[in-house]
Amino acid sequence: GGPCPRPRRAGPSPKPGRAARIAVCLTSALVMLTSGVGWCAYHWLDRGVNTSSALDALRDDAPPGRDGAVNLLLIGLDSRKDMNGNDLPKEFVQDELHAGSSDIGGYNTNTLILMHIPAGGGKVTAFSIPRDDYVEIAGGRGEHKIKEAYGIAKAEAEEKLSAQGVKGAELEHRGREAGREATLATVQHFLGVPIDHFAEVNLLGFYDIAKVVQPVPVCLKHPVRDRYSGADFPAGPQQLDARQALSFVRQRHGLAGGDLDRTHRQQAFLSSVTHKLQEQGVWSDLGKLQGLFDVIKKDVVIDNRWNILDFARQAPNLTGGNAEFHTLPIEGFATRKGEAVNLVDPAKVKSLVQAMTEPKTERKDTPAAGDAEPGEGKPDKGKADDAKPGGSDPVSSDSFQGPPVKMGGVPCVD
């Protein structure tokens, strides 16, 4: 990463804003030092990351945060284009990614996972939002599948920008910013909790990350074979290369739960990858981190207020089994505007997410999610009675869509 910056000579006392930034930098440096990486690594990792200011548009309308906790939204963009809007090579998309044409997928967000990181550490709770949930899209755009918020807003913005003469890479970048703003605002309203940070990755980024980590350990309960995604795996534990890993997380045909089972695949993959990184000591080895962060700098977009090194403080929780994925519930299936969608109860979703993310000190006197008044769309009281003692799980796991997936190992999924 090159030599460390030379220390500046002593000068006037820094202004409050600058002093705060210096404090954050020193804290991050301390984190890196205690993990065995060092101050130079901080500067190397902090340069060249693609950032977005999309969260700025949400700050004023965000629900109040709780107890200093952090909510991080992971966005998986199903796009066959690079950061500048150019098509990825046809042969690569079709043969290596097994993802069809560059015209497929558009700008749908096929993965939306909110990770709630408690203040001061503790159990990390993640919520996967099924991509076909039929919700109100931010900006008065009516009801659509939640995955379509990004593409709808991007197309609207680009139509206006094109009329102003904006074109090329700038048009793509500004269009994507509009897509991010709409996605973030939609998710924030749907879940009823603030989004503090986000990270966005597309198909190419996923593939590149899998290449750095491969082989990726996974486990399947049943053998699968799907010509659409290219998934062709036996039952049981196995090791996947990058191309196979993409097939593993993209398969939905041939699975009993369809898209919902694919959501569990995504959760299992994240658990397996973080577990492997922990086993290999990647979090505390600058040489091993370099390959991973080179990919992040090329393929990932994060918000401009988030220092990715702060996330290293939570790595032990994420990789040590102190984290759990839940898939948010749906109420059934239907056809809307000619498309198959998931029907959802927004009141129930908000209730579950808020109950699972409130600080333990507040849970003592807070009704469980099942104790709602009739008509509020919250789970049945009987389910809430199954909660674990001590307030660690304020709602029963069967209030969600399928069983939870725990991080810290290699979960076996359908």
Distant-in-sequence, close-in-space partners of 315: CB < 8 Å, separation ≥ 6 = 274, 278, 283
Structure tokens at 141: 């755009």
Structure tokens at 399: 């209030």
Instruction: Classify the phi-psi angles of 395: left when phi > 0, otherwise alpha if psi is within -120 to 50, otherwise beta.
Output: beta
pLDDT at 59: 82
State pLDDT tens for residues 42-66.
555 566 788 999 999 998 888 877 7
Q: Give the H/E segment covering residue 155.
A: helix 149-163
pLDDT at 284: 65
CA dihedral over 48, 54, 56, 59, signed as positive or negative: negative
> What residues are paired with 112 via a beta bridge?
75
Q: How many CB atoms lie within 10 A of CB 209?
A: 21
Tell me the three state secondary structure of residue 195. coil
DSSP state of 241: -
Distant-in-sequence, close-in-space partners of 66: CB < 8 Å, separation ≥ 6 = 357, 358, 359, 362
| Residues 381, 371 contacting (CB under 8 angstroms) | yes
One pLDDT digit (tens) per residue for the chain, 414 residues: 445 555 444 445 555 555 555 555 555 444 444 444 444 555 555 667 889 999 999 988 888 777 778 899 999 988 878 888 888 777 667 666 666 555 555 799 989 999 998 887 778 899 999 999 999 999 999 999 999 999 999 999 999 999 999 999 999 999 999 999 999 999 999 999 999 999 998 878 888 888 888 899 999 999 999 988 889 999 999 999 988 998 898 888 888 888 888 888 989 888 888 888 777 777 666 666 777 777 778 888 999 988 766 665 555 555 556 788 999 999 999 999 999 999 999 999 999 999 998 876 554 444 444 443 333 333 333 333 333 333 345 577 678 888 888 877 888 998
For residues 153 and 244, what is the distance between their CA atoms, to the nearest angstrom? Answer: 32
For residues 344 and 401, what is the distance between their CA atoms, to the nearest angstrom? Answer: 11
Dihedral angle of Cα 122, 282, 47, 198, to the nearest 10 degrees: -40
State pLDDT tens for residues 265-287.
989 888 888 888 777 777 666 66
Sheet holding 108-117, edge to edge: 50-52, 300-303, 197-202, 70-78, 108-117, 124-128, 323-327, 405-406
For residues 215 and 340, what is the distance between their CA atoms, to the nearest angstrom? Answer: 35
For the chain, the distance separating the N- and C-terminal CA atoms, rounded to the nearest angstrom, is 42
DSSP of 267-332: HHHHHHHHHHHHHTTGGG-HHHHHHHHHHHHHHEEEETT--GGGGGGGHHHHHTT-EEEEEPP--E
pLDDT at 88: 78
Angle, CA 285 vertex, CA 283 and CA 286 arms, to 5°: 105
What value does the mean pLDDT of the chain take? 78
State pLDDT tens for residues 342-356.
999 999 999 999 999
